[in-house]
Structures are given as structure tokens and as C-alpha cells.
Amino acid sequence: MHVDGECHCGRIAFEAEVDPERSAVCNCTDCQKFSGAPWRASVPAKVEDFRLLRGTLKTYVKTADSGAKRMQAFCGDCGSPIYATSAENQTIFNLRLGALKQAADLPPKRQIWLESAWPWAQAITNVPGVARG
């Protein structure tokens, strides 16, 4: 599936090819902190299937408890997350769904790091809501 996206301020734009069956939600504490939310949704793209169309990404390398280094790529102006990848062997970019124009067409097919999931965040479909906040 062809996807395209941009950061909130529009300085970063990109496109990629992804497999919608690999869309996922991560509940790990790092994703919670990076997103400021209970989880972070992403879909992987092969490095060769990703193309930066506009702008220059800023990066931050986080070292996990395991010692693995994960590079976070984001807009240096507005802070919108674009993808994460291995800092040492970049073969896959985990594109952040929030930056994709096709995010609504990429429902997650699995969740990971459920041991860190916030219990209330697993069942919000019955929380009352309004169409526009």
C-alpha cells in the first residue's frame, strides 16, 4: 500500500510502501513517553521503500534496557514523530501512523508490550465522546 505523510508544521513530507497487515500498537513505556499517550501506532516500511520528499529529520538515539539502540526520527521544528529504526542496522522504518494521511486505513493487527499497557486504555469504546472537542 502506498502511503504519504507529513509533520504537523509541514516542513517534513515523505512517502513509502507498507504492508497494512503489519500495522501495530506498542504499549511499552518508551512509546508512552515518546507519544505522550497510552500507546504508539506504527507500520513498518523497508528503508528502500521510504522516500523523504521535503525537509531534514532530526534524530534521537535511545538505548533500551537490553542495550539495543533505537533511533527516533522527527521534525526538529514541530516535534512530530515520523519513524523509529535501529540505530546500528537500518533496514526497517517503523512509520508513525499519526503522520500518515492514510492512518485511518491502517487499523492495528496486533499489540506488543501488553505488560506495560494502561488497563483503562484497552477499553475506551464505551467512553462518551463528542464529534468535535
How high is the pLDDT of residue 127? Answer: 77
Confidence (pLDDT) at 40:
93
Residue 128 pLDDT: 79
Is a pLDDT exceeding 80 seen at residue 78?
A: yes
Answer whether residue 86 is part of any domain. yes
126 pLDDT above the threshold of 80: no
User: Could you identify the residue written with the cell 528503508?
Assistant: 47
Whether 124 shows a pLDDT value over 80: the answer reads no
- CB–CB of 118/38 below 8 Å? yes
- Flag whether 48 is in a domain: yes
What would the pLDDT profile of 79-106 be if each residue is shown by its tens digit? 999 999 999 889 999 999 999 999 999 9
In a domain, 131, yes or no: no
pLDDT tens-digit map of 6-63: 999 999 999 999 999 999 999 988 888 888 899 999 999 999 999 999 999 999 999 8
Q: Could you tell me the CATH number of the domain that includes residue 97? A: 2.170.150.70
| Distance, CA of 88 to CA of 70 (rounded, Å) | 8
- The answer as to whether 111 is a domain residue is yes
What residues make up the domain containing 71? 2-117
pLDDT at 64: 80
| Residue in the structure block whose three cell numbers are 501488553 | 114
What's the rounded Cα separation, in Å, for the pair 84 and 40?
11
How many domains does the chain contain in total? Answer: 1
Residue 97 vs residues 41, 68, 79: alpha-carbon distances, Å: 6, 23, 15
d(CA 133, CA 129): 9
Task: Give the contacts of 81 (CB within 8 A, at least 6 positions apart).
Answer: 34, 35, 40, 72, 73, 74, 96, 98, 99
pLDDT value for 130 = 84
Q: Is residue 124 part of a domain?
A: no
In a domain, 130, yes or no: no
